[in-house]
Amino acid sequence: MFNWLYARHTGGRFLLRIEDTDRARSTQAAVEVIFEGLKWLGLEPDGPPVFQTARAEAHRAAAQALVEKGRAYRCYMTVEELVQERITARAAGRAVRSPWRDRHAPDGANQPFVVRFRSPADGETVIDDLIKGPVRFRNSELDDLVLLRSDGAPTYNLAVVVDDHDMGITHVIRGDDHLNNAARQALIYQALDYDLPAFGHVPMIHGPDGAKLSKRHGAQAVGEFADMGYLPEAMRNYLAHLGWGHGDDELFSDAQAIAWFDVKDVVKAPARLDWNKLAHVNNHYIRAADDGRLALSVIERLKGAAADLPADARERLQAAIPAVKDGAKTIVDLVELSRFALKVRPLVLDDKTLGHLTEETRARLARLVETLRFAETWTPVALEALLRQFATAEGVGLGKIGPALRGVLSGGSPAPDLAGTLWALGRDESLGRIEDALSQAR
């Protein structure tokens, strides 16, 4: 999100790279999750994605160049020797150093090897981070990291440096779990005589309890928020506000966020996911959304749940959604709040509604049908006034009419207030449902 905002703010380009050097984790399914999540969120890159594995030859060429410059070396340590060196290094409080760092290749035998970076033995590496400020690392504490595995496959830290250079990357904005990698990568940049990009390491998002966001907090992947019924524009607004802000503005458009955003304004402390605030933001965007779009979203969800829908479901929903969307925090809520409009006559009445349909109430509803039939204006305000006038004329309060009327109109499903329900259903459907109920109750 911050990469996208910064690229738009500065007139730059937002690029996407699939860092798939770890083949076990980089499955096609995992890659599709990235593509689908970014597409749904509306953060599509300014060019085709770059796959690191497709650039392996360029990575190997860079590793060979480092070997020739004496900034990398072939390491012939066995797995057992490496385990022992890690134990020894940990006990001595130092970084892993291979004995092959200062040795020539063994004679004769065709032994497997990895290519390691020759980290400086002393001094320090400073990352002048756009968010955290200067961060210092003692070079003696940085391992001689592997650049090429024994099968010749490039590793992540080498690949990102070469790809950043070849892609013309000027700014790397990423999670602060990569801050230690920045020090190692900076040394590789320098060893290859590459210009160093600007780094901005963003604090990770935490759950409400202050722990790193995980499945137990309810959602982790972008697609899960889509499944939970959040709108992409709401997520863009909310995510932009996590760790960055513009004064007291909580709700803002993409254009405003782009105009205001600067990575230097991102806060250093981790932001916490607040479900109540997210619901508030999402409700704002649901209320502002086009009713036809919301109707399609409801239909997609109901079809996904194999629900039977009337042929005119879209028209029914478009009429009902204006009456219910103010109370919907998510599209899931909207589905439940608009179900009453999709019911097909004659509705099956629940026992509670049938219990309200006494002889006196049925007579009163029959008189209400005639009043509604000749109502001059069918709007929530006009219908609210009509219902109150009718109750007054009947010499009763709305409480004597409301429960039965609500039941016969909604079939026991959640629905807006009486006037809103009548308005959402329309005159013909409302009168038909009341008349059906009066016939059933006899």
Residues 6+ apart with CB under 8 A from 297: 331, 334
The answer to whether the beta carbons of residues 217 and 224 sit under 8 Å apart is: no
Residue with tokens 């990235």: 34
Closest CA to 120 of 195, 188, 180: 188
Q: Which residues pair with 171 in a beta bridge?
A: 198
Q: Which member of 69, 132, 212, 215 is catalytic?
A: 215
Rg over CA atoms, the chain: 32
Q: How far apart are CA 422 and CA 323, in angstroms?
A: 10
Residue 39 annotated among the catalytic residues of the structure: no
Enzyme catalytic residues: 215
